[in-house]
Amino acid sequence: MARLLITGGAGFIGSHTCLVLLNAGHDLVIFDSFVNSSHFALERVAHLCGISSCEQNIRMKIIKGDIRDQVALKNLFTDATDEDRPIEAVIHFAGLKSVSESINNPMLYWDVNVNGSRCLISTMNKFACTTLVLSSSATLYGAPKSIPIAETASIQPINPYGKTKAAIEQMLSDLKGVNNNWRIASLRYFNPVGAHPTGHIGEDPLDTPHNLFPFLSQVALGKLKLLKVFGGDWPTPDGTCIRDYIHVMDLAEGHLYALDFLLGNSPEMIILNLGSGIGHSVLEVINSFKKTTGKDIPYEIVARRPGDASIAVADPSKAKEKLGWSTTRTLSEICQDGWNWQVTNPNGYSERIV
C-alpha cells in the first residue's frame, strides 16, 4: 500500500476520497489550509475508518499549510523521506472552485489554482515524486458543441475558474513532454453532490453556497427562504440548465481506480471525464429532492448567471474503458444522502457528532 499526499483532503471531495483511500489500506499525509473546510471533517473520517488517535499520525497525518508555500511543501516531502516513508503519489484537490468568485476575483484564482499547482508540481518533480491525480473540471468545456461531452471536445472555458483548470492541465502536459516519468490522471468532474450515506461527512461550504444542492438543502431546512433558479429560458425541454450530477462516493472511488491505474501501468497522462452520463434539469432535481425529503422547496426563476452553460453531460465511456469505473448511485440516492447529511448536521461541522 502506498503513502499518499492529499492536498485539500479536508474539503468536500477530498474528505470522501480520504475515506475510500484509507479503507483501501493507503496511508495519507493530508495538506490543507482549511480556508474552506474543517478539521472535524478529518476527525469524522478517522472515526468512520476506525482509526484511533495513536494510529492517526501514521495512517492520516494532517498538516496545515498553503500549496503556494514552497518551503512548507519542501519540508513535507523532506520529512516524509526522513521518516523513510516517502510520498509515492499525490492526489491534488486543493484550490478554489466558485465560478462567480473567479469572475469577480480572477487573480486570486490564478494565484491559488495555477500558481499553487505549479508550486506543488515543481516540488514533486524535485523529489522525483511523479504520480499525480488531479481534480480537473468539466467547466473547461465551456458551452460544448455536442452532448454528451467526450474528452476530445474542445477546451473553451467561459469563466476564469475553468481557465485555471485548463491551464493546470496544459502545464502538466508540457511537463510530461520533457519528463516521461510522470504518471498523471486529470479527472474532469461533472457535478459532485450527495454525501457519505452515514451522514457523518458531507459538503459544508463556509460561505453562502454557490451550488444547487447546498442551496436546496438550506431552503428545505428553512435557513434560506427561496431557491434561485438561474434562467428559465435555456434551450432545454423545461428551460432550466441540465447537469450531470455524480454522487461524491462514486467520485471518491474514481480516484482510487485512477491511482491504481497509474501505479499499475507504464507512465502516461490520461484525461478522463468522471460523470454519470445522465443529465437532469434543475426542475427535475427540485422534484426529486421534494419527493425524497417530503419538504416543500419554494423557488424563483431569476436571470441567467454569467459563466453558466445550458447543458453539461459527460460521455464517461473512456473512464469505464481505461479504469473499469462507472457510477452506481442514482439521483434519488444523491438526494437521500445529501439530505441525511443536512438534517444530521444542520450547521455543518460546527456541531460535532463524534
Ligand X SMILES: NC(=O)c1ccc[n+]([C@@H]2O[C@H](COP(=O)([O-])OP(=O)(O)OC[C@H]3O[C@@H](n4cnc5c(N)ncnc54)[C@H](O)[C@@H]3O)[C@@H](O)[C@H]2O)c1
Q: Which residues bind ligand X (CB under 6 A)?
A: 7-8, 10-14, 32-37, 66-68, 93-97, 112, 116, 135, 137, 189, 191-192, 211
Task: Kindly give the interhelix angle for 12-23 and 39-49, rounded to the nearest 10 degrees.
Answer: 20
Using the minimum distance from each CB to ligand X, give the nearer residue, 63 or 267.
63
Using the minimum distance from each CB to ligand X, give the nearer residue, 66 or 253.
66
Using the minimum distance from each CB to ligand X, give the nearer residue, 168 or 219.
168
Using the minimum distance from each CB to ligand X, give the nearer residue, 135 or 340.
135
Q: How many Cβ atoms sit within 10 Å of the Cβ of residue 174?
A: 10
For the CA atoms of 318, 322, 323, 327, the dihedral, rounded to the nearest 10 degrees, stands at 20
**Peptide bond between residue 267 and the one before it cis (omega within 30 degrees of 0):** no
Shortest distance (Å) from residue 8 CB to ligand X: 3
User: What is d(CA 191, CA 137) in angstroms, rounded to the nearest whole number?
Assistant: 9
Cell of 180: 516521461
Using the minimum distance from each CB to ligand X, give the nearer residue, 5 or 112.
112
Shortest distance (Å) from residue 89 CB to ligand X: 17
Using the minimum distance from each CB to ligand X, give the nearer residue, 262 or 275.
275
Supply the residues annotated as catalytic.
161
Shortest distance (Å) from residue 97 CB to ligand X: 4
Extended strands (E) in the chain: 3-7, 27-32, 60-64, 89-92, 131-137, 183-189, 191-193, 227-230, 242-243, 245-247, 269-274, 280-281, 299-302, 311-312
User: What is d(CA 122, CA 132) in angstroms, rounded to the nearest whole number?
Assistant: 12
Q: How far is CA 124 from CA 40, 73, 140, 221, in A?
A: 28, 9, 25, 44
Shortest distance (Å) from residue 134 CB to ligand X: 8
Q: Which residue is nearest to ligand X (CB)?
A: 11
Written as one string, the DSSP assignment of 85-142 is: ----EEEE--S---HHHHHH-HHHHIIIIIIHHHHHHHHHHHTT--EEEEEEEGGGG-
Shortest distance (Å) from residue 305 CB to ligand X: 15
- 189: Cβ–Cβ under 8 A, 6 or more apart, which residues? 13, 135, 136, 137, 138, 246, 251, 274, 275
Cell of 291: 419527493
User: What is d(CA 33, CA 281) in angstroms, rounded to the nearest whole number?
Assistant: 34
